[in-house]
């Protein structure tokens, strides 16, 4: 029996390592986004500072470990065997849940997940105890569960979301109004004062959040810090203001950069100090329970109560440091952390670009109401006031290259970190259950709104993204409770077999999600490489025709594979072709979406090429659509096991493929050699006419087959659709050639 529980403890620690990895991947967004988004320093420097913050913060987390032991349930009323069931169910659920959020790239609260997992598993075990008891009913559930704590967590979610968003919006608006986007000159005079306030707030945050849970600061020191808080803050404000001003005078230091890096350190430290319990608190509690069980030889695991978990807990510093090292390594190498980080930066980006989220009815309604309110406000405000406000919020750095420009400037990054630090500090001092994830995310969204990052062209997508993330937070609570409840019930009913089965399920889920994330990452890298291949400098504008040639070469090969796959009913080949067609559509979409950025930077000598390039991309996009309308119906026809094509139709398709390949081969040869002579163009036109005549002839033969009832309705719809889309395909390809010729010659329209 002892050996079985020893194996469970070992498994809990193995799961703790996995949980640290998936947890850090999600929570890294809290302290990295402001530094990364503002490009306050190099990635290496930012990561080093965050890593130091994590290692320091890990030693400050000892006092938080009691959350996993007694804050959610009453351990006195559970037996040792029941406690171990709760802890195993919690860890398995946490890994699956957090890994899912990492894969889809959404930030969530590890605190809320662990709390509701503990709640769900404890409710499941308590329910079983009550049902097996003759003297208790479900009305006694409150004796096992700390329902007040759960309600406080839910209240904290709602409170932190609203307060953080409003606070971030107001303070960012005031900061931007004072300093504007051209803040360099003003910062020479007022920057040290601004920095002093920010640094003092962050230091206050470090003291309040960090010292309380430290494993090495004694009680007397904590009492002294608490009683002298105002004195410490005043000294910090005066000293930091003077120091920053001296740094500006003698070393021309960037005050905002210092604030952002110090704030990154503080939030990283708070993350490790506050959230480390979410990853190792449960395994440590399980280990302490096992030690108590082993320390009572002959004790029955089904009757031994766990009062030991109700006492004070002190975790050895070396265990906290080991956990901190694992978190730091994960921070450096986790690709999923980058995915989650990109989500928040994308929602707060000041620049135009591809939006990750679509639009929703609720978001559209909010935007419409906001526009109406803004119009009414403009009708009241004098025009002079409106012009003054517009001038202070005007970004004059829009001409900076997209690749070099940060997602937002360091004014906003400083406000993000300072406001988040203040709110979390206040919440901690008032014993409110605030989530660092919720606060930092909503502050960032509030500052984005005030900074006009959500313009008319992006607001509906950004609001949809925010709603999606917030909805995901509540989904976290629901799914954490439900899954942990089910897992605990299964383990309680089946025992060790259920643990092995659920562990296997968790491993399979994590592996599959890793493969899915890897696949998506490759697609994103491919898209980014396509974007990067677009050299937006006007002097290299002519070289962009090469992208068109490369895509054009893929067309006849794809078309031929689709026709062959349909003729020989090769479902796997058609499925592969459909994937390639979708990829080609994406590539053409990337080229088209980036065309306005290129046109903006055209020099006068290249200005006449711009319209032809845009036109060329339109034709390429239409070609992708035509291929899609051929590939998808063909795949569905074969996949649904409809009747095979008759021999006459197969012969027709082979002829069609031959004519199309001949036409595209001639066209691509003209594009490849940039030979737009009349003879070359005439040859392409002749090949196109032969193809169109062939399509008309095949269509007539199909009509005869329909009249003679040789083919069915589904067959006819598919076959005629392929003929029609092939005709459109040839026409768009011909227009593509003409636009490419005009683009190459750069003549005026």
- Using one digit for the tens of pLDDT, what is the confidence trace for 68-87? 555 677 788 888 889 889 88
- Using one digit for the tens of pLDDT, what is the confidence trace for 484-522? 999 999 998 888 888 889 889 888 888 888 777 677 666
User: Shortest CA distance to 704 belongs to which of 649, 655, 651, 650?
Assistant: 649
Rg of the chain on CA atoms, in Å:
32
Task: Report yes or no: 11 and 286 within 8 Å, Cβ to Cβ.
Answer: no
Output the six-digit token pair for 292.
């108590």
Could you please report the per-residue DSSP string of 103-144? HHT----HHHHHHHHHHHHHHHHHHHHHHT-SS--GGGGGGT
In this predicted structure, which of 306-320, 450-464, 643-657 has the lowest mean pLDDT?
Answer: 306-320
- Any residues with CB less than 8 A from the CB of 304 and at least 6 apart, and which? 79, 80, 292, 293, 296
Task: Give the C-alpha separation, 676 to 310, whole Å.
Answer: 85
User: Shortest CA distance to 670 belongs to which of 652, 684, 658, 650?
Assistant: 684
The vertex-18 CA angle with 14 and 23, nearest 5°, equals 140
- What band does 396 get if pLDDT is binned at 50, 70 and 90? low
- Any residues with CB less than 8 A from the CB of 228 and at least 6 apart, and which? none
Write the DSSP symbol of residue 645. Answer: P
Please provide the distance, in angstroms rounded to a whole number, between the alpha carbons at the two ends of the chain.
86
Tell me the whole-structure pTM to 2 decimals: 0.74
pLDDT score, position 719:
94
pLDDT score, position 608:
62
Mean pLDDT of 387-406: 70
CA–chain centroid gap for 374, Å, is: 31
- What band does 546 get if pLDDT is binned at 50, 70 and 90? low
Output the six-digit token pair for 584.
């080609």
Res 373 pLDDT > 50? yes
Q: What share of the chain is helix, strand, coil (3-state, %, to 5)?
A: 80, 0, 20
pLDDT score, position 178:
87
Mean pLDDT of 121-148: 85
pLDDT score, position 208:
63
User: Shortest CA distance to 546 belongs to which of 642, 707, 671?
Assistant: 671
Res 541 pLDDT > 50? no
Mean pLDDT of 338-344: 76
In this predicted structure, which of 104-113, 570-579, 667-676 has the lowest mean pLDDT?
Answer: 104-113
Res 747 pLDDT > 50? no
Write the DSSP symbol of residue 543. Answer: G
To the nearest whole percent, how much of the chain has pLDDT over 90?
Answer: 21
Please give the torsion angle defined by the CA atoms of residues 441, 96, 99 and 94, in that order, rounded to the nearest 10 degrees. 40
Task: Report yes or no: 18 and 95 within 8 Å, Cβ to Cβ.
Answer: yes
At 602, is the secondary structure helix, strand, or coil?
coil
Higher pLDDT, 747 or 425: 425
Task: Report yes or no: 285 and 70 within 8 Å, Cβ to Cβ.
Answer: no
User: Shortest CA distance to 437 belongs to which of 19, 22, 24, 18?
Assistant: 24
Please give the torsion angle defined by the CA atoms of residues 173, 174, 178 and 181, in that order, rounded to the nearest 10 degrees. -20
- What band does 536 get if pLDDT is binned at 50, 70 and 90? very low
Structural domains in the chain? 2-395+407-525 (no CATH), 537-745 (1.20.58.220)
Burial class (CB in 10 A: 0-12, 13-18, 19+), 361: exposed
Backbone angles phi, psi at 299, to 5 degrees: -70, 145
pLDDT score, position 168:
92
In this predicted structure, which of 261-270, 315-324, 555-564, 701-710 has the lowest mean pLDDT?
Answer: 315-324
Tokens 């509690």 appear where? Answer: 285
Q: How crowded is residue 576: how many other Cβ atoms within 10 Å of its Cβ?
A: 16
Helix (H) or strand (E) holding 228: none
- Any residues with CB less than 8 A from the CB of 576 and at least 6 apart, and which? 561
Res 612 pLDDT > 60? yes
Higher pLDDT, 274 or 423: 423
Q: Give me the count of residues in the chain.
A: 749
To the nearest whole percent, how much of the chain has pLDDT over 70?
Answer: 85
pLDDT score, position 428:
65
Task: Give the C-alpha separation, 119 to 127, whole Å.
Answer: 12
Res 528 pLDDT > 70? no
Res 660 pLDDT > 80? yes
Backbone angles phi, psi at 570, to 5 degrees: -95, 90
Res 718 pLDDT > 50? yes
CA–chain centroid gap for 122, Å, is: 31
Res 451 pLDDT > 70? yes
Output the six-digit token pair for 487.
């897992």
Task: Report yes or no: 695 and 709 within 8 Å, Cβ to Cβ.
Answer: no
Output the six-digit token pair for 149.
């704590």
- Using one digit for the tens of pLDDT, what is the confidence trace for 470-487? 888 888 888 999 999 999
């Amino acid at each position: 029996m002892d050996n079985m529980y020893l194996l469970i403890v070992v498994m809990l620690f193995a799961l703790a390592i996995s949980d640290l990895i998936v947890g850090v991947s999600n929570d890294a967004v809290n302290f990295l986004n402001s530094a990364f988004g503002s490009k306050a320093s190099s990635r290496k420097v930012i990561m080093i500072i965050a890593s130091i913050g994590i290692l320091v913060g890990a030693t400050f987390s000892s006092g938080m470990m009691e959350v996993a032991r007694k804050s959610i349930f009453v351990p006195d009323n559970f037996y040792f065997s029941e406690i171990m069931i709760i802890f195993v169910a919690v860890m398995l659920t946490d890994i699956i849940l957090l890994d899912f959020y990492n894969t889809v790239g959404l930030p969530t609260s590890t605190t809320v997940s662990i709390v509701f997992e503990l709640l769900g598993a404890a409710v499941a075990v308590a329910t079983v105890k009550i049902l097996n008891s003759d003297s208790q009913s479900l009305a006694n559930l409150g004796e096992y569960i700390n329902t007040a704590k759960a309600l406080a967590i839910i209240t904290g979610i709602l409170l932190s979301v609203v307060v953080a968003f409003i606070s971030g919006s107001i303070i960012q608006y005031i900061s931007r109004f004072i300093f504007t986007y051209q803040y360099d000159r003003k910062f020479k005079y007022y920057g040290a004062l601004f920095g002093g306030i920010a640094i003092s707030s962050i230091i206050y945050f470090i003291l309040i959040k960090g010292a309380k849970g430290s494993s090495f600061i004694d009680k007397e020191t904590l009492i002294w810090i608490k009683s002298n808080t105002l004195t410490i803050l005043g000294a910090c404000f005066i000293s930091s203001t003077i120091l920053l001003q001296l740094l500006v005078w003698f070393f021309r230091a960037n005050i905002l950069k210092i604030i952002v890096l110090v704030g990154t350190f503080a939030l990283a430290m708070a993350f490790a100090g506050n959230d480390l319990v979410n990853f190792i608190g449960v395994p440590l509690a399980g280990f302490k329970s096992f030690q108590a069980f082993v320390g009572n030889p002959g004790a029955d695991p089904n009757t031994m109560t766990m009062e030991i978990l109700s006492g004070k807990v002190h975790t050895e510093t070396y265990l906290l440091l080991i956990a901190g090292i694992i978190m730091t390594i994960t921070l450096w190498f986790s690709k999923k952390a980058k995915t989650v980080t990109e989500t928040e930066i994308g929602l707060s980006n000041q620049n135009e670009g591809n939006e990750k989220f679509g639009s929703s009815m609720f978001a559209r309604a909010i935007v419409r109401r906001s526009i109406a309110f803004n119009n009414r406000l403009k009708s009241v405000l004098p025009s002079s006031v409106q012009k003054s406000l517009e001038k202070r919020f005007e970004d004059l750095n829009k001409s900076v290259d997209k690749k070099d420009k940060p997602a937002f400037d360091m004014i906003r990054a400083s406000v993000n970190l300072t406001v988040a630090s203040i709110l979390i500090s206040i919440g901690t001092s008032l014993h409110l259950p605030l989530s660092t994830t919720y606060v930092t995310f909503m502050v960032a969204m509030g500052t984005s709104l005030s900074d006009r990052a959500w313009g008319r062209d992006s607001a509906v997508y950004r609001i949809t993204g925010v709603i999606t993330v917030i909805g995901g937070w509540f989904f976290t609570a629901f799914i954490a409770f439900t899954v942990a409840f089910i897992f605990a019930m299964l383990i309680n009913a089946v025992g060790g077999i259920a643990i092995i089965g659920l562990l296997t399920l968790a491993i399979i889920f994590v592996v599959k999600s890793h493969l899915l994330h890897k696949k998506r990452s490759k697609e994103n890298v491919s898209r980014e490489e396509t974007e990067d291949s677009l050299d937006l400098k006007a002097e290299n504008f002519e070289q962009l025709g090469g992208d068109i040639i490369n895509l054009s070469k893929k067309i006849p090969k794809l078309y031929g594979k689709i026709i062959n796959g349909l003729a020989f009913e090769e479902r796997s080949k058609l499925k592969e072709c459909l994937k390639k067609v979708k990829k080609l559509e994406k590539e053409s979409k990337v080229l088209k979406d980036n065309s306005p950025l290129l046109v903006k930077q055209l020099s006068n000598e290249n200005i006449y090429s711009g319209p032809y390039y845009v036109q060329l991309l339109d034709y390429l996009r239409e070609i992708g659509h035509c291929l899609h309308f051929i590939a998808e119906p063909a795949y569905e026809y074969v996949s649904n096991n409809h009747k095979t094509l008759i021999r006459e139709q197969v012969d027709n398709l082979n002829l069609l493929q031959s004519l199309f390949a001949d036409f595209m081969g001639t066209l691509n040869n003209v594009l490849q050699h940039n030979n737009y002579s009349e003879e070359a163009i005439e040859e392409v036109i002749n090949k196109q006419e032969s193809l169109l005549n062939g399509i008309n002839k095949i269509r007539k033969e199909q009509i005869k087959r329909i009249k003679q009832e040789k083919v069915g309705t589904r067959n006819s719809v598919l076959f005629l659709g392929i003929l029609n889309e092939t005709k459109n395909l040839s026409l768009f390809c011909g227009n593509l050639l003409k636009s490419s010729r005009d683009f190459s010659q750069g003549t005026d329209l």
